[in-house]
Amino acid sequence: MDARLRWTERTRELVARCGVFDLYRSHRAAPDGREGDFHVLEAPDWVNVVPVVNDPARGRCFLMVRQHRHGADLVTTEFPAGLVEPGEDPREAAERELAEETGRRAGRMTVIGRVAPNPAFMTNWCTTFLAEDLAPAPGAAQDALELLETRMVPERELFERAGTGEYVNSLVVVALAWFLRREGAPA
């Protein structure tokens, strides 16, 4: 850590508990003496799952989910994803989210990347997993407040449309970059 750039927290005050995150006001001081208040969201870590399916008719596809996103107020197509529950390992969370959102389980689940979604004001991390050798996950059910549908997206379609239309979730683009790096392509 470069001490010349690191701000030191002097005080922290809880502003609001908002279910999936807590909002804090953090008073911090810079090494040169400047001070200021910053807002920080403490949120649980997230997982993102890239389920790959080899479709004889369409080639390699991604099993994705379409759902309404309340923040942007639009329907997006995304990789299965969600929060890591307290005490849960990210791999367990990825397996759970894959089953809940797609009704599938992975024969192989491999970590392909980890990022800080927005380190400017968020404390959490998002781990991306590659899910291969998919099979039905009997008894899997969506969360009570999820309304989504699954969709097989051909690899080429996602490559061409990432960052546009329904594919605007930034973590989809990040997961795709991790996937491409793993495949040996420059991301």
How confident is the prediction for the chain on average, in pLDDT?
93
Question: How much is the average pLDDT of 167-181?
Answer: 95
- Summarize the confidence of residues 78-102 as an average pLDDT: 96
**What pLDDT, on the 0 to 100 scale, is given for residue 185?**
73
- The least confident of 39-43, 47-51, 53-57, 141-145 is 141-145
Domain covering 46-182: architecture = Alpha-Beta Complex (3.90)
Q: Poorest-confidence range of 13-27, 56-70, 134-148, 158-172?
A: 134-148
CA angle 78, 111, 122 (to 5 degrees): 65
Task: Give the pLDDT of residue 139.
Answer: 73
Residues 6+ positions from 23 with CB-CB distance below 8 Å: 14, 15, 16, 17, 39, 40, 41, 42
Q: What is the pLDDT of residues 139-171, one digit of tens each?
A: 777 777 778 999 999 999 999 999 999 999 999
- Parse the chain into domains and list their residue ranges: 8-42, 46-182
Angle (CA) 66-70-73 rounded to 5° is: 80
Q: Torsions phi, psi of 68, nearest 5?
A: -80, 135
